Amino acid sequence: MKVSSGLTQGRNMSDSVVERWICTMPGSLHVTEAVEAFAGVTGESSDQHISLSRSWQTRDTIWLNQLSPFSKSEKFNSLSSGIVAYNRVNCDSAEELGKNAVRGIVGISFANVTLKRKLQVFTLAAMGKTITIDKDPVVVNPNQLFHCITCVVRIADDLEDCLQYELAPYPQSLSDDVGLQVGTKSKIIQVIDTMCKISSKLPENPSYVLNGGDLLHRVHWPCPATYGEVYNTYFDYINQNCGRNVIVVFDGYEQSTKDAVHMRRAVGKSAAKVDVTLSNAMTIAQEQFLSNVDNKQSFLKPLTTEFKKVKFAVFQAPSDVDVLVVETAKTEAESGRSAVVVGTNSDLLVLIAALTQPQCAVYMLVPGNSTTARKVYCSRELHKGFGNMMKHLLFLHTFMRCNTTSALYKRASTS
């Protein structure tokens, strides 16, 4: 109430003036209402009712048409972002929890008041900022935690107590802070390129076998867009580059040999679980969305259904997708049809060479971009190039760069 302009005309208000002004407000209100009734006018402030303006009503109508709060979904999720709440989110019961907390402290002195953790209210914002302490989720503010540590460690000698524990809880010769030591997959591609014949031509009217994991990331999502429009982008990409004779093989995203790879790809990216429906608007960036395995599974279910509607053959691997991709292409080739595996993973190329017979022709297409031309490999040429070394190819790949083994510590892939 203390101001230096307006009501006081440049003079500060003393405590007694403020007290007198507040005490006379109830009486003045009745006088004001009587004057307004006598004059037939009312005083209103449009700023207090800005949400009732026509522009705000139009905006809210559009928003509600896109994100209806009356959906039949049983999930507790945010209307604007589509983020699905975990079981611990209970902000919808905040009033009930508050009343229970008040009942529990009635008749207790303030010094003895304690509030149980189960009465704590968790919002959607707390989903990614909680840790578990004694089986109870606790919301953590990293910035505040850092400030607390800074206040506790006042001198350099205090750092000894903070750093007295082991700083390397994993064997550094095999792992880093994310998982297994990573080699360079491109090294084995360079070896294959020098030993085998590479082409840029494909056979006529082939059957394309697409690696679904590579497809998810290769197609860029439009923004802004709904998930239904994103699915249409995949249809356009496949029709433009592969035609109609297509087989798509997706990863099951369950426990598999690629768990370490999935963890590494998700480093620095985090996304809450999102409710994916065709009409919902996309509110999270593509790479951030795909870093959550639950989101991938929710995204694949409608995408698989839409693919089947347009007669695309769709398979989903129970674990690792690479083997199923190669086996599917091998089956197509043995039945007399030309099979082309589309992907960028060197594991696919090694598996094609190792799992096919010399007389079987399975092709692999590595799509190009604005700076590199596309490459076409043939299993027959791989067998000719490697010769007797073919039986050692999987062993060599294991130590050069495999998803289930660690790279050699401080050794390059070519050494």
Q: What is the pLDDT of residue 276?
A: 81
Average pLDDT in the chain:
75
What integer pLDDT is reported at residue 211 of this predicted model?
A: 87
Tell me which of 129-133, 218-222, 270-274 is least confident: 129-133
Distances (CA, A) of 287 to 6, 20, 302, 383, 394: 53, 61, 19, 37, 31
Q: Does position 412 have pLDDT exceeding 80, yes or no?
A: no
Least confident piece of the model among 86-95, 204-213, 398-407? 398-407
* Helix, coil or strand: residue 77: strand
**pLDDT at residue 3 tops 50:** no
Q: What is the pLDDT of residue 213?
A: 83
> According to the 3-state scheme, what is the secondary structure of 218-238?
HCCCCCCCEHHHHHHHHHHHH
| Whether residue 415 has pLDDT greater than 50 | no
Question: pLDDT tens, 16-30?
Answer: 777 677 777 777 778
Average of pLDDT values for 218-227?
86
Q: Which of 72-86, 99-113, 227-241 has the highest mean pLDDT?
A: 227-241
pLDDT category of residue 161 using cuts at 50, 70 and 90 = low
CATH superfamily of 186-400: 5'-nuclease (3.40.50.1010)
Per-residue model confidence as pLDDT tens digits over 281-340: 887 888 888 887 788 888 888 888 888 888 888 888 877 788 888 888 888 888 888 888
Q: Where are the domains of the chain?
A: 1-30, 75-165, 186-400
pTM of this structure: 0.58
**Tell me, what's the pLDDT at 183?**
59
pLDDT for 184 beyond 70: no
Mean pLDDT across 206-235: 87
